[in-house]
Structure 1
Amino acid sequence: MTATVAAWILLLATAAYACGGGVDYGAGFWDLTAGGTRRGRRPRDLIDHAMEPVWEVNNVWLIFVLVLMWTGFPVFFEAVFSSMWLPLALAAVGLVLRGAGFALRKPSRRLAQRRFFGAVFAVASLLTPFFLGAAVGGVASGRAAPGTTATAHVWASTTSVVAGLLAVAATAFLGAVFLTADAHRFDAPDMVLYFRRRAWCSLAAVAVLALIGLAETRDHTSYVYDRLTHGLGLLLVVLAAVAAAATAWLVAGRAAGWARFTSVAAVALVIAGWGAAQRPYLVPTSLTVQQAAGAPASLHWLLIVTGVAVVLVGPALVVLYRLDTHGLLEAQTDADVEGGARPSGES
């Protein structure tokens, strides 16, 4: 029972990172496709302004996922990181480069430096979710079984490639929806239309790739396919489709702020459907939750620490996200720093 609860917490944390981090990756994707310096200035300014207050906090979910895997399911952790070490290493490099590019491009004084760091940020925002998605696709297809040798076949299969592309499309969808709402908040009607169209296009890409992925699952992982098309898995997928349709409708009007919630629900429900379809396996059909679970004492303490984190950290994250989405957080500027450095007697 304890292992099952920990597995569901792991799934929820994964969904939280996919949605929270996905918004930031999506913003980076649209930064990459914004065009040249003149043409892309407006969308890039909005992206910077929207991301700056909270972009680092989403990595909390990734760290939490890794701690849960390492402590609660060490056999699963070893199997995944042994067989998928290359895409996960590339994703880790992308995380570092992405953060460095975003942090360094704005304070850079030279145009060439800003372009370089901006390109690093944008390209890493595309490659990181792709490699993370490819690793997830390898796990979902059963190729990350314990004892599997790390080869290209494990993570570069058709299933993994489709999963990687689906991850990129989903992040682009989330990013476009959130940026549409931000454009409303900043009273930028041209950017509302700009990102609204991209939200619709990325949603269409998600739908196409999801259908391709479902066909791939039928051909290569019949266990997951059967449970995705029946029972709880099917219900969650249908609810995800309803949430996605609601997002497409909401983003077209003045209620784009509500589209944030439906877009997050759509992505989270897809991940929940995937988790429900894999039960009771962590790696279909070779490693169950019980087989991968760590020592009972470790699992009990893991649940206790998770409960403490929910009580202490959860409310702070809720307040932070709420302040950000309501425009009550502003990034610190050079003028703020210079003003704060003046003696108290100066005006």
Structure 2
Amino acid sequence: MHPEWILGGVMVAALVLYALLGGADFGGGVWDLLASGPRKKEQRELIEKVIGPIWEANHVWLILVVVLLFTAFPPAFAAISIALHVPLTLFLLGVVFRGSAFSFRSYDSRKDRRQKRWGFVFSLASVIAPVLLGMIVGAVASGRIRVASGVVTSGFFAPWLSVFPLMVGLFALALFAFLAAVYLTNEATEPALVDDFRRRALVSGGVVAALALASFAASFEGAPLIREGLTDHPITWPLHLTTGISATAAFFGLWTRRFRLARFAAAAQVTLILIGWAASQYPFLVVPDVTLAGAAANPRTLRLLVWILGVGFVLLFPSLYLLFRVFGSGRAGAATDGAGAHEEE
């Protein structure tokens, strides 16, 4: 296998992990903003408890994607960072404001008005950042970023300020919110809180389906090459089928209160969506002018990166396992007990 294929696959896998972990944290911020009803305070406390200990570690996957893109595929990195420097900068600001606000809110006085303001900043940034991230992905896939002789010729606003990137951004927001709600049904131990997030998961799952159709409809004009990849590529139809099965299983698990099934199925749904996007875009890194093979760095550099990744993963995965084991085992056990109680009912 060519090293650029391996590194491209690692970037897709890292994006999947970022969506499953960091994306769910963004979704938690969405539900923090939309907390309502008599248990509004308890909803926010559960969200803070769940994402608090380990949420910053989830950004390691996005950092890995950026480093690999910069090192292994420098022409693609240059095209994306130049054409999309405005939404990329806004996204990074959103991540910084979100992290700072979450920390200040967590350690500030609970009765202080400023604590509520920090909570609003955290929630608002959690909504804006995933929309921008989705718009960046939509712009890369749209074919509106044009590169001639290594120079971006399409401007700094036209590629991402159009209907298709906006639809993808809203789709990403809804998908992260759905994933977070499903996770929170597993994390909550009080039946009333479980029901709160179960309802939110069902509603947001319906919004995900609607926005998926809207994004596909927008792709006919906004991203024709991706639309062809979604419909004509031989591997995409099996992916569509398995994605549909996963989505159906997630709804079935939520409806019948089999929350562990819903969590597994929702994670599979998100994974398959991202793999389907990557398959439909192949062989392009930036549609339509930058390909995986054309943007690859020197073969010696690529081979060295593959070896470095192998050594790095030996160190990274045990560390992350220990982190999740130490800070997540207690909550996971409680969540399983809570889900099991509902299943018995």
Q: Same fold (TM over 0.5)?
A: yes
Equivalent residue for 2:245, pick from 238, 242, 246: 242
Equivalent residue for 1:287, pick from 265, 290, 297: 290
Equivalent residue for 2:313, pick from 284, 295, 310: 310
Runs of at least 5 residues in structure 2 that lack an aligned partner in the other structure: 334-345
Equivalent residue for 2:191, pick from 189, 192, 213: 189
Q: Are positions 1:162 and 2:200 aligned together?
A: no
Which residue identity is paired with 2:171? L
| Other-structure match for 2:112 | 111
Identity of aligned residues (%): 37
Residue aligned with 1:25, SS = helix
Q: Is the 8 A contact 2:187 2:332 kept in 1?
A: no
Tell me the number of residue pairs that the alignment of Structure 1 and Structure 2 aligns.
326
Instruction: State the Cα distance separating 1:325 from its structure 2 match.
Output: 4.8
Instruction: State the Cα distance separating 1:247 from its structure 2 match.
Output: 1.2
Which residue identity is paired with 1:312? L
| Other-structure match for 1:345 | none
Instruction: State the Cα distance separating 1:155 from its structure 2 match.
Output: 0.6
Instruction: State the Cα distance separating 1:39 from its structure 2 match.
Output: 5.3
Runs of at least 5 residues in structure 1 that lack an aligned partner in the other structure: 331-347
Deviates more, 1:216-225 or 1:272-281: 216-225
Q: Is the 8 A contact 2:249 2:261 kept in 1?
A: no
| Other-structure match for 1:4 | 5
Q: Distance in 2 between matches of 1:315 and 1:244?
A: 31
| Other-structure match for 1:300 | 303
Q: Are positions 1:174 and 2:179 aligned together?
A: yes
Instruction: State the Cα distance separating 1:49 from its structure 2 match.
Output: 1.1
Residue aligned with 2:285, SS = strand
| Other-structure match for 2:214 | 212
TM-aligned CA distance change 1:175 to 1:329, over 3 Å: closer
Which residue identity is paired with 2:202? W
Q: Distance in 2 between matches of 1:314 and 1:262?
A: 23
Instruction: State the Cα distance separating 1:190 from its structure 2 match.
Output: 0.6
| Other-structure match for 1:90 | 90
Instruction: State the Cα distance separating 1:6 from its structure 2 match.
Output: 1.1
Q: Distance in 2 between matches of 1:291 and 1:136?
A: 20
Q: Distance in 1 between matches of 2:205 and 2:326?
A: 27
| Other-structure match for 2:158 | 153
Q: Is the 8 A contact 1:6 1:303 kept in 2?
A: yes
- Deviations along 1:189-229, one digit per CA (max 9) or x if unpaired, are 11111000111111111111111111111223322212212
Q: Distance in 2 between matches of 1:62 and 1:137?
A: 17
Instruction: State the Cα distance separating 1:188 from its structure 2 match.
Output: 0.7
Which residue identity is paired with 2:58? N
Which residue identity is paired with 1:89? T
Instruction: State the Cα distance separating 1:314 from its structure 2 match.
Output: 1.6
Residue aligned with 1:137, SS = helix
Deviates more, 1:62-71 or 1:297-306: 297-306
Deviates more, 1:248-257 or 1:315-324: 315-324
Which residue identity is paired with 1:223? L
Instruction: State the Cα distance separating 1:302 from its structure 2 match.
Output: 1.2
Equivalent positions of 1:57-72 (< 5 A) are 57-72=57-72
Q: Distance in 1 between matches of 2:170 and 2:323?
A: 30
